[in-house]
Amino acid sequence: MSTQLQKVKELIDLRAEARVGGGEKAIQKQHDKGKYTARERIGMLLDEGSFEEFDMFVKHRCTNFGQDKKHYLGDGVVTGYGTISGRLVYVFAQDFTVWGGSLSETMAQKICKVMDQAMKMGAPVIGINDSGGARIQEGINALAGYASIFQRNIMASGVIPQISGIFGPCAGGAVYSPALTDFTIMTKGTSYMFLTGPKVVKTVTGEDVTQEQLGGASVHASKSGVTHFAVNSEEDGFELIKKLLSFIPQNNMEEAPVVECTDPVNRMEDSLNEIIPDNPNKPYDMFGVIGAIVDNGEFLEVHADYAKNIIVGFARFNGQSVGIVANQPKMLAGVLDSNASRKAARFVRFCDAFNIPIVTLVDVPGFLPGTGQEYGGVILHGAKLLYAYGESTIPKVTVTLRKSYGGAHIVMSCKQLRGDINYAWPTAEIAVMGASGAVEVLYAKDIAAAEDKAKLVADKEAEYVEAFQNPYRAAQYGYIDDVIEPRNTRFRIIRALQQLQTKKLTNPAKKHGNIPL
Ligand code: HXC
């Protein structure tokens, strides 16, 4: 064999060594836990044959605790680039078969390299997390590695989309990288995220809690809102990432891809003319409205299990990607509270950062009153949503279906918060507050003095309903651009979005605003 051929063979052997990561036994262990390896995951995520790997021959440099005697080529993370539906993406997948995917100095450098590359090219980064945290043997170098990654997450925020898959453990400070990214997806049963594990929790607080109860996918999807999606399997997770990316541009200087629309733009939806119940206190399902108006009824809901009184997610109108924010009358009457405000604010800011227009569907009785909300800082959380709508420069179309009261009216993309086109259905009630509250405040003394209190209340409420509980007061002042027939909503939104395509709006130059965090 010639020297050259020998060298080629050596290369092939080294590549084969790198491809088994921590070895066959560790791979089997990973499979036994119902998890895929880093390379299998990348294979499932990217277009077939598109993956180009970086840094296969990287080795750690640690000499503590006998580490110098053990090396795995590639060192605990597989990194590189490829395509999803033909579009460039950068990926890193932590390899649990190498010291539990724990983060070393060199691993961090590999991750930072793909993040830097993604920033230069203006392409999304997808990180698959499955790691025991900082590599203990590396001490402060591992911590410095995390910090370098976080710094890049922060700089990339709002420039390129960042998506985190949590498909195994993600604990300690390591959780902050996913938390800084735009979307997090967790697998049910095999992933968890927490700052301190059950043992430390027990020591510090005495609380007995399992990993699943503390930081499983369902907990973070429904209680904390830390994860945007909880999926049943890694396969589902990868399909979701692909779908999510289809609604999102490559970077903040581009527009989301426009797909061919197979749903007639002027499709009338007669059912919408009868969807609002006669009784104003009776709920209906906002998903029914969303499904009826968007292209082919397709809606990718974000944060589906968290703060269900507000709905956020992606859909298309005439093939154009939009973010939808909608109150859900079926859940707590669609009231705005702290969690709903935070959920919607983050979504609005994502859409604004990435040039995705927002369609807001309003049916909101107001903010949830009470000490629970006030002590929890609903003032600040509500202000986040207000701020998010008010600073955004993307096209915004608002449709008020029924209630739109008080502060919640203002927050939900009203005209003065840069709502570009504001429509209302004839069933809209746009006022400072509902009839009973208003009559109580305005006629307290008269009611106290009245012989027939019930009649006076009923009369005054009827008067108020007649005067205020309709869209025409707002339309009279131009706060509503038009009152539209519900069945025409799809067409009117598409027209509005078309009109807004060349919208140009910029905020005053500043270092950054001071959103009430
Ligand atoms: C070095 C680690 C490691 C770590 C796991 N391993 N975590 N090596 N540093 N952090 C090694 C194990 O020794 C083992 O090596 C192999 O990875 C697989 O781990 P197992 O324990 O066999 O796997 P499993 O039973 O599935 O348990 C997974 C685990 C557990 C729950 C993640 O390994 C664990 O609790 N690890 C420690 C987690 C932790 O406390 N990390 C530090 C957090 S502090 P062998 O050779 O036996 O196969 C932190 C700070 C970050 O991360 C701050 C950032 C700002």
Apex 433 CA angle, 481 and 475, nearest 5: 15
Which range among 55-59, 215-219, 244-248, 434-438 shows the weakest confidence by mean pLDDT? 434-438
Cβ of 113 less than 6 Å from ligand 1: no
Which of 123, 217, 408, 474 is catalytic? The answer is 408
Does residue 513 fall inside a structural domain?
Answer: no
**Which residue among 30, 96, 102, 141 is best mutated to probe the pocket of ligand 1, counting the most ligand atoms within 8 A of its Cβ?**
102
Q: Are 407 and 367 in contact, with CB atoms under 8 Å apart? A: yes
Q: What is the CATH number of the domain that holds 481?
A: 3.90.226.10
Q: Which two tokens stand for residue 151?
A: 């710094």
CA triple 355-412-364, angle to 5 deg? 140
What distances in angstroms separate CA 313 from CA 244, 303, 316, 342, 344, one per listed residue?
Answer: 10, 8, 10, 14, 10
d(CA 316, CA 364) in angstroms, rounded, equals 24
In a domain, 255, yes or no: no
* 443 & 495 share domain: no
pLDDT at position 141: 95
Q: Which amino acid is at 257?
A: P
Shared domain check, 54 and 194 = yes
- Does any domain span residue 512? no
514 in a domain, yes or no? no
- Helix segments in 412-483, DSSP class H: 435-442, 444-449, 453-468, 472-476
Q: Are residues 192 and 226 both part of a single domain?
A: yes
In a domain, 152, yes or no: yes
- Nearest partner of 111 among 135, 128, 132, judged by Cα: 128
Asked whether residue 173 carries a pLDDT value surpassing 90, the answer given is no
Strands 310-317, 300-302: pairing kind:
antiparallel
Please name which of 493, 498, 86 lies closest in space to residue 295, comparing C-alpha atoms. Answer: 493
Give the pLDDT band (50/70/90) at residue 339: very high
Six token digits for residue 112: 């930072």
Contact 174 CB / ligand 1 (< 6 Å): yes
pLDDT at 110 over 90: yes
Residues contacting 99, CB < 8 A, separation 6+: 22, 72, 76, 132, 135
Pairing of strands 87-94, 77-84: antiparallel
Which one of 82, 172, 313, 334 is the catalytic residue?
172
Q: What is the mean pLDDT of residues 444-456?
A: 91
Q: Is the domain of 149 the same as that of 172?
A: yes
Report CA(191)–ligand 1 centroid distance (Å): 14
Candidates 139, 158, 173, 189; catalytic one: 173
146 CB near ligand 1 (under 6 Å): yes
Whether 135 is in the pocket of ligand 1, judged by its Cβ within 6 Å, is yes
429/442 same-domain check: no
Strand, helix or coil at 397? strand
Atom of ligand 1 nearest to the CA of 133: 52
Q: What is the mean pLDDT of the chain?
A: 96
**Entry field: residues in the chain:** 517
- CA dist 464 and 147 (Å) reads 58
- Is the CB–ligand 1 distance for residue 108 below 6 Å? no
Non-local CB neighbours of 490 within 8 Å, separated by 6+ positions? 265, 266, 267, 268, 269, 292, 293, 294, 317
- Please say whether the beta carbons of 131 and 170 come within 8 A: yes
Instruction: Pick from 31, 111, 136, 193 the residue to mutate for probing ligand 1's pocket: most ligand atoms within 8 Å of its CB.
Output: 136
* Percent of the chain's residues with pLDDT above 70: 100
The protein residue whose alpha carbon is closest to atom 36 in ligand 1 is 132
In this structure, are 106 and 187 located in the same domain?
Answer: yes
* pLDDT, tens only, 379-428: 999 999 999 999 999 999 999 999 999 999 999 999 999 999 999 999 99
Residue 142 and residue 112 share a domain = yes
User: Of 257, 200, 214, 237, which is closest to residue 86 (Cα–Cα)?
Assistant: 257
* Strand ranges in 159-274 using DSSP code E only, listed in sequence order: 162-166, 169-171, 183-187, 192-194, 229-231
Q: Is 172 in the active site?
A: yes
Report pLDDT for 468.
Answer: 84
Closest residue CA from atom 8 of ligand 1? 99
Residue 9 is predicted with a pLDDT of: 97
Angle at 290 between CA 284 and CA 295, to 5 degrees: 155
Is 261 part of any domain?
no
Beta-bridge mates of residue 185: 165, 229
Q: Answer whether residue 256 is part of any domain.
A: no
Active-site annotation holds for 478:
no
Angle between helices 378-391 and 338-353 (to 10 degrees): 20
Span 346-356, average pLDDT: 98
Q: What value does the mean pLDDT take over residues 56-79? A: 93
408 tagged catalytic? yes
Report pLDDT for 434: 84
| pLDDT (0 to 100) of residue 419 | 96
Given the residues 122, 376, 407, 437, the one annotated as active site: 407
Cβ(99) – ligand 1 distance below 6 Å: yes
Pair 226, 334 in one domain: no
Residue 413: closest CA among 491, 358, 332, 463? 358
Collapsed DSSP state (helix, strand, coil) of residue 157:
coil
Q: Are 313 and 404 in the same domain?
A: yes
On whether both 46 and 106 belong to a single domain, the answer is yes
Buried b (16+ CB within 10 A) or exposed e, 329-368: bbbbbbbbbbbbbbbbbbbbbbbbbbbbbbbbbbbbbbbb
Give bridge partners of residue 362 from the DSSP assignment. Answer: 400
For residue 505, list its beta bridge partners: none
For the chain, helix, strand, coil in percent to 5 are 45, 20, 35
The string of pLDDT tens digits covering residues 121-139 is 999 999 999 999 999 999 9
The amino acid at 471: P
Which residues does residue 88 pair with via DSSP β-bridges, in sequence order?
Answer: 83
349 and 464 in one domain? no
Q: Indicate whether 482 and 357 sit together in one domain.
A: yes
Report d(CA 220, CA 36) in Å as an integer: 22
Q: With 90 as the cut, is the pLDDT of residue 490 above it?
A: yes
What range does the domain containing 100 cover? 3-245
Residue given tokens 């061919």 in the structure block: 260
233 alpha carbon – ligand 1 mean position (Å): 23
pLDDT digits (tens, 9 = 90+) for 140-163: 999 999 999 999 999 999 999 999
Count of the separate structural domains present in the chain: 3
In this structure, is residue 505 part of a structural domain? Answer: no
For residue 192, give the nearest of 150, 145, 230, 242 by alpha carbon.
230
- Tokens 């507000």 locate to 310
Nearest CA residue ID for atom 1, ligand 1:
135
Give the end of a domain, one of 195, 211, 245.
245
Cα(128) to centroid of ligand 1, in Å?
Answer: 17
